[in-house]
Structure 1
C-alpha cells in the first residue's frame, strides 16, 4: 500500500465509514475478503437497494457478484476505490448526504442518478457502468485551445 492508501484506510476507519461498510456487509451476509490497496471486498450483496452492480462504504466495496468473481473487473474496482477516497475527503459519513444531493441534482438534470453527479463523474462514469441511453456524452471531453 502507498502512504496515501494507508492514510485513506485510517481516515475511513476513524471517520466511521468503514465500520458502517462492515456493518452493512455483515447484515447483508456478504463474504468478506481482503482486496488490493487497503480495500475490503464484500461479495454476494443481495439487497435491492442500491441497484448498482457494486457500491462503496468507506473502504468496503460491496458487490452483487459471488466470491471469486467480485473485484475482478479492475475498471469497476478503480471506480469504487475513487469513491473510497471521496469518503475520506468528505470526512466519512457526510459523503452519504452529499452523494444523495448530487444524485438528486443529476436526476433533475438528466433523469439518471449518475450522469450529472459530481462524485460519479470524478470516479469515472464509464468504469462505474453509467451508460447514457439518450445520446449525451458520459464523460467530458477536453476543451480545445482556441
Structure 2
C-alpha cells in the first residue's frame, strides 16, 4: 500500500482531517480532491492565519484558487509533508506542538518559521521561508 493511502486513513482516524474540513467550511472554502489523498480547500476567507497555505490533517487550505496552488508544486509538496507530520503527532496534538515550535522559533530568531522544527522538516525553501532568521538578517544588514 502506498504511504499516502496510509496517511489518508490515519489522518481520517485521528480526526485531524475532519477538523481540517471544519476549518475549511468555517472559512467558506471550496473543496476539491488533491493529489495523493489530499483535499485542497481554496478561497479561505478567515483573517487568520495570514499565510499563503496551511494544512490541517489531509486538508490543504489556501485563500488562493486551485490554479495558484497548482502553479507552486514546491509549496504543495511542503504542505503535503505537514499532512504526514499530523500522522507522526497522532493527529490533533500537532496543533499545540506546532504553536509551541512557532513560539520557540520567534523567541530564538524573530520569526515563526526558521527555527520551527516542523517547518524545517517540511522544507523551509519549499514553504517560502528564508533560511536565515529575521534576527540574523537584521544583524547582517546592520553590519553592512
Task: Mark yes or no: TM-score above 0.5.
Answer: yes
CA distance in 1, matches of 2:70, 2:101: 26
CA RMSD, aligned part only? 1.5
> Who is 2:22 aligned against?
23
> Who is 2:32 aligned against?
33
The answer to whether the 8 Å contact 1:64/1:70 transfers is no
- 1:71 to partner: Cα distance: 3.4
The answer to whether the 8 Å contact 1:41/1:71 transfers is no
The answer to whether the 8 Å contact 1:6/1:38 transfers is yes
- 1:52 to partner: Cα distance: 1.0
CA distance in 1, matches of 2:70, 2:32: 10
5+ long unaligned stretches in structure 2 = 139-144
- 1:51 to partner: Cα distance: 1.3
Deviations 1:46-72 (A, max 9, x none): 212111100000000001112433333
CA distance in 2, matches of 1:48, 1:110: 25
- 1:11 to partner: Cα distance: 0.4
Deviations 1:18-75 (A, max 9, x none): 0000001111110100010110100011212111100000000001112433333100
Task: Provide runs of 4+ in structure 1 moved above 6 Å.
Answer: none
Q: Does 1:114 align with 2:113?
A: yes
Q: Does 1:68 align with 2:67?
A: yes
TM-score w.r.t. the length of structure 1 is 0.87
Q: Does 1:130 align with 2:129?
A: yes
5+ long unaligned stretches in structure 1 = 137-146
The answer to whether the 8 Å contact 2:69/2:76 transfers is no
Aligned residues: 135
CA distance in 1, matches of 2:71, 2:21: 20
